[in-house]
Amino acid sequence: MRFSARNILSGTILKVTRGATTAHVVVEVAPGRILTASITTEAVDDLDLRVGMAVAAVIKASDVMIAID
Amino acid sequence: MRFSARNILSGTILKVTRGATTAHVVVEVAPGRILTASITTEAVDDLDLRVGMAVAAVIKASDVMIAID
Amino acid sequence: MRFSARNILSGTILKVTRGATTAHVVVEVAPGRILTASITTEAVDDLDLRVGMAVAAVIKASDVMIAID
Amino acid sequence: MRFSARNILSGTILKVTRGATTAHVVVEVAPGRILTASITTEAVDDLDLRVGMAVAAVIKASDVMIAID
Amino acid sequence: MRFSARNILSGTILKVTRGATTAHVVVEVAPGRILTASITTEAVDDLDLRVGMAVAAVIKASDVMIAID
Amino acid sequence: MRFSARNILSGTILKVTRGATTAHVVVEVAPGRILTASITTEAVDDLDLRVGMAVAAVIKASDVMIAID
């Protein structure tokens, strides 16, 4: 499958934190570079996401902001 | 300034592509790891964004999806 | 590939409208049910999106609002 | 009321799952076509959302991605 | 119509800037408090949006970030 | 720090409601004008967000919709 989303960063799951309906999944996409995803707990179960798994973090370009000092 | 957004990745601008109202800014956040941001052309002018500039790509956790093979 | 995004609706492209950097892609996901996606023109070229193509519209649950009369 | 959001799909609530602050609302927008919305529990109470209710799922075009096989 | 979106701010259109597919609409929601919306040009035409019009800016809570100095 | 996000509204925190992973932060950005942000509980702890604090609500233009009666 290929996406229109411009940002697809492969990485490894470092941590999964579950709430009642929302879970946070922390992914290392490069040495010392981590991304946190906030997804449904349903998705965590559906994809059986666990620490150590190889995944991709997918982000639409319109959801990326730029900041400067 | 500090953000509630969990994803703040420092990097360097590789490319800026302008449309009439929307611009795409490509940022290298790690060797071979690029992020594309779709922002307003007003923001590009306001922040005077240019190739080679040091910036941060900012992404809310709720805008990050996870995909698996 | 499988996604954490909860909304994946297969359909057929009815129309592609290009701007300088942003394109609109109209997808029929059920008889008389259409979805419009606003994506980068780069993605349209990258995925070679054309009228009549079978695609999936992918939407994160956190991007769906509910309205009532 | 009319919206700038291009995607307004009427449907019926099939399921409401509440967390402490976030709820998931599953809406059937066409036979076998469901959308999941992740909204605040406050909104569920405010709109008194219940199974069987007629609602609209509202999605901004910029929040829709396209995927192809 | 009522929304699950928690942020509905009434205001007046100060400016509309059109691109090929995307338009920016500037809305004053309180004295000196403006919001910029990036919407499709199709929506601008569909809602016949013009300077001076009374509108509401609608924002999902999950799209609002918090920053501190 | 400066942002590409076009909407930066300073205000004061009126209320913080915590869930297991997601928190709602209500900010008054003008007399009687409030914004609700849905952010991670991690961010609330990280920024030590409390009632009465001066903050900014940050919203990307592409996340703002327009509605008319």
Q: What is the mean pLDDT of residues A14-41?
A: 96
Q: Is the pLDDT confidence value at C1 over 90?
A: no
Phi, psi of D50 (to 5 degrees): -140, 160
Q: Give the best residue of B4, B8, B50 to mutate against chain F (max F CB count within 10 A).
A: B4
Confidence of residue D1 (pLDDT cuts 50, 70, 90): confident
Instruction: Report which DSSP code applies to C42.
Output: H
Low-confidence ranges of chain E (pLDDT < 50): none
- Say yes or no for a CB contact (<8 Å) between F38 and B1: no
Minimal Cα distance from F61: which residue of E? E37
- What fold, for D7-61? OB fold (Dihydrolipoamide Acetyltransferase, E2P) (2.40.50)
Instruction: Report which DSSP code applies to E45.
Output: H
Q: Is the pLDDT confidence value at A29 over 90?
A: yes
- CA-nearest of F4, F7, B43, F13 to E9 is F7
Cβ contacts of C65 on chain E, cutoff 8 Å: 3-5, 60
Instruction: Supply the pLDDT for residue D40.
Output: 97
CB of C52 within 8 Å of a chain B CB? The answer is no
CB of F61 within 8 Å of a chain D CB? The answer is no
- What fold, for F7-62? OB fold (Dihydrolipoamide Acetyltransferase, E2P) (2.40.50)
Q: Is the pLDDT confidence value at B1 over 90?
A: no
Confidence of residue A1 (pLDDT cuts 50, 70, 90): confident
pLDDT digits (tens, 9 = 90+) for D3-49: 999 999 999 999 999 999 999 999 999 999 999 999 999 999 999 99
Minimal Cα distance from D46: which residue of E? E4
- CA-nearest of D16, D19, E62, F42 to A20 is D19
Q: Is the pLDDT confidence value at C34 over 90?
A: yes
Domain boundaries along the sequence of chain F: 7-62
Low-confidence ranges of chain F (pLDDT < 70): none
Which D positions 3-22 lie with beta carbon below 8 A of chain A? 17-20, 22
Of F1, F6, F49, which is closest to B40 when you measure between CB atoms?
F6
Cβ contacts of F1 on chain A, cutoff 8 Å: 67-69
Instruction: Supply the pLDDT for residue D31.
Output: 93
- Say yes or no for a CB contact (<8 Å) between F3 and A65: yes
Judge whether C63 and C18 are in contact, CB under 8 Å: no
Pick the CATH number of B7-60 from 2.60.40.2470, 3.40.920.10, 2.40.50.100, 3.50.50.60: 2.40.50.100
For the domain spanning A8-52, the CATH number is 2.40.50.100
Instruction: Report the SS3 class of residue C21.
Output: coil
Q: Is the pLDDT confidence value at B24 over 90?
A: yes
Q: Looking at the predicted complex, does its ipTM rise above 0.90?
A: yes
Instruction: Supply the pLDDT for residue F23.
Output: 97
